[in-house]
Structures are given as structure tokens and as C-alpha cells.
Amino acid sequence: MIEAIDKIIKYLNTVDGLEDFLQNDMVIDAVTRNYEIIGEAANQIPKSIKNKYLELPWRQMYGLRNFAIHDYHTIDPQILWEIAEDHLIENKIQLENLLDQERGNES
């Protein structure tokens, strides 16, 4: 999930703002695909972990994946941009903290 977030950030850094993003089908496709990966991975996380880390938007991640896959033709790229701007960095930090905590619990 962290790798997919990093890819989204990298792809979005290749465009010059929202308007440029909306005109770049390749970047939109790449970003959409990585949201799908995040959502599918979120769905595979055990419930025990999801219940332990309620601050992560597990359901929304999977919901975006479903929407991107099943209703791709109606997805609004501006929403993808806004999710990235408003949530991705925070979600990445939360996932990194989750990994650190879970790795610490294995010792």
C-alpha cells in the first residue's frame, strides 16, 4: 500500500497542478490503477489489524477500489486528485506507523 501511495505521489509530481492532471490520461490511468492496488490490499488486511488501527480509512480505500474497477468510465479524476491532496500523505504516515508498531510487537 505504501509503495502504491509513493507511486501516486510520484505520478502527480509529473503534472503541474489539477488542470494539467485533468488533461493527462496516462497519469490519470496510473493514479487510478494504484488506488485500485491500495483498495485491494486494504481488503486483504486481517480484521484484527483493521480493528486495531481504526484511524485508517479501510472501508473507503476498498470502496474507491470498487468504484475505480466497476465504474471506471464515471470516475471523476478531480476526486482522485483531491484524495491525494487531502489524505495520501497522512495515510502513508499511518501505514508506516502501523508497520513499525506491528514489527515491534513481533519481537
Catalytic residue status for 70: yes
Q: State the catalytic residue, choosing from 33, 59, 65, 103.
A: 65
CA 70 to chain centroid, in Å, comes to 17
Find all residues with CB under 8 Å of 29, minimum gap 6, and list them: none
Catalytic entry in 33, 70, 87, 103: 70
Known catalytic residue at 73: no
- What is the Cβ-side half-sphere exposure of residue 29, based on CA atoms within 13 angstroms? 3
Contact in structure between 79 and 32 (CB atoms under 8 Å): no
Catalytic residue numbers read 65, 70
